[in-house]
Structure 1
């Protein structure tokens, strides 16, 4: 890769001679040599960044799951588009043309993977609307009154809760959740293991199975006015926050019930600890679900943490393909680092 000095039309010896006419020779030589070294270091750093974004794009396009901590980095894939764009521009400014072109190829590949999530729109169909919401309560510490306010504001029919504790159960009851959503299946547990489903409509087949990661996942079938039945689960696999937990995370997602082309339609909603860039979640969706955020063009709206960065989409509503997705919202809830996810489904 030619340096800036080499790419100039003026030979280096002539540059030194021209510099010498205005001062001693040795300081000129050191100054020009130092500038060339600095340019080489900058270009080397840009090539390193280029290789990083190229590897990122290759992993995402290939659909492979990298070992930890790559699985955590993969969650930031939407941000990698910006990283690739900045690398491309800087490389071109530094006249590292090949590096800039390679970064541009990586950026285009990442754009192809990420940006379809903003192209959808709500679907219009005739049928009964089912409004669902999911909230991770953050060890049961979320503001119960704010949760109930969100239920009222969204006219929620079914509420899925994760990290549901006994203290949270009592606060939610005092805030009036049981009066609004009188049918429920709950299993309050210490720390982050508890789970619950609350419903405006009758529930049957209530269960609270424990997932591979040790978290309870409240499950039931809701019967809607008119007799339609929808199977529901409050999903919460373990988080891949260490190398030891990556296996239980991927196996936990794989163990979630697959969608079926016939029979009772199913909705999975909750904190999946995974984004649409993680292969285990994409494989689960591929069984016959659709991600509500993706369908409505909101697939890049972050749900965790409730801070500007890093911001990723870990909370999802996965709906059977036989259900229409009419609307999708993300709302802040006081006291938790997860944002609530609301989706309006149409049962035809």
Structure 2
């Protein structure tokens, strides 16, 4: 009897925990330690839960602890199905090189400049990028990329914000086509709100004449144990940048749309902004790490835009998985709404 009661308690606890791992937003846990990490890797979580369900099902078939094992198999199978359903709803397509575009945005965390200027510029030119966001890229490489693009017929202005010269990860570079007009950097050089993200730099560039979107090149810190406070602060600050005016932001958010929950205003997902991958049906595809297939990876690289813009396609580019970075580049095509 005691074992049966204990087994029931374990199954109920497992079911509750599994539900919270599938949808931590229900209890406001999406930005908390452990929950934030599990929900970021839904594909892995689904695969692990499915494997666990198979193991418990085998135990149940062997008639040892049949009721308990069968119940645990059901809980884990439901967890796997729940995560798979979320990924399915968010989409695993979205790529359309022929989609209409008034603004094409490329973002690629270069892992401290591992891909060459030639490779990055080639992708930018081939995709027809008007805006290129490069976390972990210094000004020197940004200028090399701009030269390569100019020689290919796609000139770019270059802006870089660096918190220091010690690590390339402490630099973020933004390239903008002159066809979008004149821009100037308006974010502070120092780290932390109110002028920037806390640990890794974000570049905020505004149109000089006020016509066109403010462009935000994002690099939020990863939610490692000792950076959780800064990670949450980074996401709060970035959401504020998208809470007023016309904005397009892109980069490495180190967060999925699960972590955006609770940060939307006026009907937006993140501030007033909407996620281009979600709108295009590609938000279930992982951009990090390249060691994992897209279906198992974490979709932490984003392009977001305020309601003045609408996404027509979003591609997680897998052709550069051997280029050296642990992030896949993403390309979003946007059109003027209305």
Q: When the two structures are superposed, what TM-score results if normalisation uses the length of structure 1?
A: 0.73
Structure 1 unaligned regions, length at least 5: 4-44
Matched, 1:296 2:280: yes
RMSD (Å) for aligned C-alpha atoms: 3.7
Within the candidate set 310, 327, 334, 1:345 is matched to 334
Q: Are 2:231 and 1:249 equivalent residues in the alignment?
A: yes
State how far apart, in whole Å, the 2-side matches of 1:186 and 1:277 are. 29
* Residue 99 in structure 1 maps to residue 83 in structure 2: no
Matches within 5 A, 1:1-348: 53-57=18-22, 59=24, 61-65=26-30, 67-95=32-60, 96-118=69-91, 129-176=102-149, 180-188=154-162, 189-190=164-165, 191=167, 192-200=169-177, 201=179, 202-209=181-188, 210=191, 211-222=196-207, 229-241=212-224, 243-256=225-238, 257-260=240-243, 264-279=245-260, 283=264, 285-308=269-292, 311-331=297-317, 332-333=319-320, 334-348=323-337
Residue 222 (structure 1) shift: 4.9
Q: Would the alpha carbon gap of residues 64 and 148 (structure 1) be closer, same or farther in structure 2, given more than 3 Å must change?
A: same
Per-residue CA deviations over 1:234-293 (Å, capped at 9, x if unaligned) read 01111122x2201001101101134347xx421110000111222568648243221111
What is the CA–CA distance in structure 2 between the aligned matches of 1:48 and 1:143, rounded to whole Å?
50
| CA deviation vs aligned residue, 1:25-74 (integer Å, no higher than 9, x gap) | xxxxxxxxxxxxxxxxxxxx999977763452353543413643443333
Rg larger in structure: 1
Return 283-292 or 270-279, whichever deviates more.
283-292
Query: Is the CA contact 1:187–1:196 (under 8 Å) kept in the aligned structure 2?
Result: yes
CA distance in 2, matches of 1:181, 1:222: 17
Provide structure 2 residue ranges, at least 5 long, that are not aligned to the other structure.
4-9, 61-68
